[in-house]
Structure 1
Amino acid sequence: MAQVDKTAAQVCGKAEKYIIPNIGHTPHKEAAELTFNAVKNFITNEIARPLVTLGNKTL
């Protein structure tokens, strides 16, 4: 887990840890659907989030 924590702390931009139990180093192969859904949800949440709020206006 130390490697995951270090990687998440060092990326530029937002990062979110998603640990899949009993999966090794290749989650995109070993748990493709879970990995896809986690990535999809992360991207969807980031796109839906407002970028900036100026006064009473959200951009």
Structure 2
Amino acid sequence: IFVSGLRDVAVLVFANKQDLPSAMAVSDITEALGLKGWLVQPSCAVSGSGLVEGLDWLSNQIQNQ
């Protein structure tokens, strides 16, 4: 991802297991990974929360490129 040719690609990170009390906060994940201009989408695969929102964002990013 840090290759110059990939600088402008859309990157979606699903922060799964957000339903667990020990889940890392999205802001902490973003800071720890140094993510700017990317989406870190909180999600829970069990309930499906956050999945549609993340995929909608990714779809919009691809359409706008």
Question: In proportion to residue count, which structure has more helix?
Answer: 1
Structure ID, larger Rg:
1
TM-score (norm 1): 0.43
TM-score (norm 2): 0.40
Question: In proportion to residue count, which structure has more strand?
Answer: 2
The structure with higher relative contact order (CA 8 Å, sep 6+) is 2
